[in-house]
Structure 1
């Protein structure tokens, strides 16, 4: 790993103007929703102008992700954020929790009663961040969520998470997905830091070992997203619906970037991390920029690639460039190699030019292949999770997770005149 990490951290942390810009963008994002709360409880799916789209039910993953973001904002000292954390926690303890069978429904309403691992991962993340923020009643929520995750979703045979069940925990889905497992890793890292229980980090390592060190390595660092019940890859899954928002056909290059970052967080969290974590993080990032960046001749990353690295869905999604920013920042922090700072600046230039919406706020969630605002895979601007973290991760260490890191005692600065 040439270069070596700078003890003072990446160069951009010493650039006062850039740090101020990141802080200002985070505050701007938090000001986007005119009213983020859904009338029924929790947080609403937001339209392109920041108004609640009440045609949508209350999605648990949005309620959890917004609770997490507001916990980070509260820890950053933004007034009004604490009550919004409490509002989200109330929904996770009431409206969205199944009082009969336990666990959390996918969304409010009679057709949202299945229970999936993706949703539960974000409940664990939200509860971890709210606990780190010191909000009332949140440790009990975290313990509940971790208990459900361990008892209902973590497979004892594989160490990975299953996908979904009916409300009463019957009708287990035969499908297994890398996306839900990836977000479980993120959630378990936060939970392990907040609870002080390293076993959660161990579970995260087990998931990453299979999906990245075993499967992605064997496929030239091209992540396999879809599996059957026995964890056999299903490369043709969803070939008839390639632009699905959660389970698209092919391989999702944004997840290569997201995994690259998470592997470095995982490495920094372990007392004796395996050497492959840093190797794999660099390999995934290298593959993503080689195979994905401008692969169709247009700036940015296509949403999905096929198995010969050909672009399949060429729409540009905001979360992909947000994760690219986080991955480049983490790799520069870990290695000190100047190429990652170059990519970091490239990705922010791309986000600022095409995705950041200076008129209505937040970031455009989707662009057409020719970089015009679109709403094919996503409508509106549902939540702030990816963009908000893109502003905070470059200012943070690799471990602990964002919320417990922000909760650390601040070092007093000299008073200004």
Structure 2
């Protein structure tokens, strides 16, 4: 079993991200990933779901969330100076301005195709990614991106935001008449990063403050639950701790504690803290550390094999033991962020350990990431077949070369990439 190996025998920490060769390796990994995903464009705009070989899976619809993620990462590629990425980002954005947009009622369908059918559900998760993608596109100067961002922010604000609890509801019918009774943390998590990016792109501080409010609420719930985040709620925002016990490997709403979300929230809390400065909610650093420690203790090699399990029960026992690439990506990002803020060597130890694991099990010779492994670290596809997008893995090789604030698109545009 791989354990975090001390960086040095004294108290001096040499961070890999400070070494030119490691930064060059990360830059090469970013270019490799964006090269591996170039087959995504769908006719008329948008992004196909990709299979294990990076080919479009034409049996699946074109999803808003996949399209927005690809628009975002290829927009980052353009801002980072990688030739050929601008046109791909613009093509994905065209899908959000065209076939995926509901011209009658506003907002975005969950998906369209592969024939003429549409999933007309309006999901906060997908709408958060439309905000994120259009914020990146606005900073990158992509056609129509700023109008798209203004539209997406208005929809997220007027159709999904519940000001009483200070959170976004989850899903609404196509004509906005029927609201799902389910409430969830996942959509709110992605709304935090989207709103931070939107604040940077527009200069409107209310989005940054809203992100801080969401983060403080979720970290408060986690603090009261031994740093395992309650994920699922009813319409009154009462926790539903047994949600999907009979479907524990649900790709978006799994039962129990989702290890990767603890790591992702740890990183996001530090972005919020950096973005808001003196106005940040109290306790974000301590919360990030609590979430990180809990996720690592519960999730890493929890069943005797290297890798992070997908979920645990509320006592920290593994439930779904599949290893998801996105959990590893968020672990790398959280370790890098906490190491940058605290200077503590344990975070650098884990950062190195997880990149070694990724190199051995997850990153292919072509530079793409295997999205799911079984408990023995063999390629699998029971929860996430194929390799639908590059969002988490691109963040894993890019964010540690940028400051925690401003957000990645604005930092890249300002020349802050190391």
Quick one: which of 304, 309, 313 aligns to 1:306? 313
Structure 1 position 216 matched with structure 2 position 228: no
Q: Does the CA contact (< 8 Å) of 2:196 and 2:407 recur in 1?
A: yes
Q: Does the CA contact (< 8 Å) of 1:38 and 1:54 recur in 2?
A: no
Looking at structure 1, the residues matched to 353 and 193 of structure 2 have their Cα atoms a distance apart, in angstroms, of 25
What's 2:36 paired with?
Answer: 32
Structure 1 position 155 matched with structure 2 position 159: no
What's 1:317 paired with?
Answer: 324
Structure 1 position 207 matched with structure 2 position 214: yes
Q: How far 1:156 moved relative to its partner?
A: 1.9
Cα-Cα RMSD: 1.5
Q: Report matched runs for 1:371-390 at 5 Å.
A: 371-390=377-396
Quick one: which of 229, 234, 242 aligns to 2:235? 229
Q: Does the CA contact (< 8 Å) of 1:40 and 1:58 recur in 2?
A: no
Q: Does the CA contact (< 8 Å) of 1:291 and 1:309 recur in 2?
A: yes
Q: Does the CA contact (< 8 Å) of 2:71 and 2:133 recur in 1?
A: yes
Q: How far 1:383 moved relative to its partner?
A: 0.5
Per-residue Cα deviation, 1:225-280 (whole angstroms, up to 9, x for no partner): 10001011101000110001000011101000000000000000013223300110
- Report the TM-score, using the length of structure 1 for normalisation: 0.94
What's 2:5 paired with?
Answer: none
Looking at structure 2, the residues matched to 300 and 271 of structure 1 have their Cα atoms a distance apart, in angstroms, of 34
> Could you tell which deviates more after superposition, 32-41 or 350-359?
32-41
- The runs of 5 or more residues in structure 2 that have no matched partner are 1-12
What's 1:6 paired with?
Answer: none
- Report the TM-score, using the length of structure 2 for normalisation: 0.94
Looking at structure 1, the residues matched to 154 and 28 of structure 2 have their Cα atoms a distance apart, in angstroms, of 38
What's 1:253 paired with?
Answer: 259
Q: Report matched runs for 1:28-177 at 5 Å.
A: 28-33=32-37, 35-109=39-113, 110-177=117-184
Q: Does the CA contact (< 8 Å) of 1:127 and 1:138 recur in 2?
A: yes
> Structure 1 residues 267 and 10 mapped into 2: Cα distance closer, same or farther (>3 Å)?
farther
Q: How far 1:347 moved relative to its partner?
A: 1.1
Q: How far 1:14 moved relative to its partner?
A: 2.5
Looking at structure 1, the residues matched to 416 and 127 of structure 2 have their Cα atoms a distance apart, in angstroms, of 31
Per-residue Cα deviation, 1:25-78 (whole angstroms, up to 9, x for no partner): 110101113522123531110010011001111000000000000000000111
Quick one: which of 271, 295, 308 aligns to 2:277? 271
Q: Does the CA contact (< 8 Å) of 1:253 and 1:292 recur in 2?
A: yes
SS where residue 168 of structure 2 aligns? coil
Looking at structure 1, the residues matched to 121 and 83 of structure 2 have their Cα atoms a distance apart, in angstroms, of 36
Looking at structure 1, the residues matched to 257 and 118 of structure 2 have their Cα atoms a distance apart, in angstroms, of 29
What's 2:372 paired with?
Answer: 366
Looking at structure 1, the residues matched to 125 and 83 of structure 2 have their Cα atoms a distance apart, in angstroms, of 30
Q: How far 1:111 moved relative to its partner?
A: 4.2
Looking at structure 1, the residues matched to 71 and 370 of structure 2 have their Cα atoms a distance apart, in angstroms, of 21
Per-residue Cα deviation, 1:271-307 (whole angstroms, up to 9, x for no partner): 3223300110011101111121111111011000001
May I ask how many residue pairs the two structures share in their alignment? Answer: 402
Q: How far 1:195 moved relative to its partner?
A: 1.0
Quick one: which of 291, 308, 326 aligns to 2:333? 326
- The runs of 5 or more residues in structure 1 that have no matched partner are 1-8
Looking at structure 2, the residues matched to 260 and 149 of structure 1 have their Cα atoms a distance apart, in angstroms, of 24
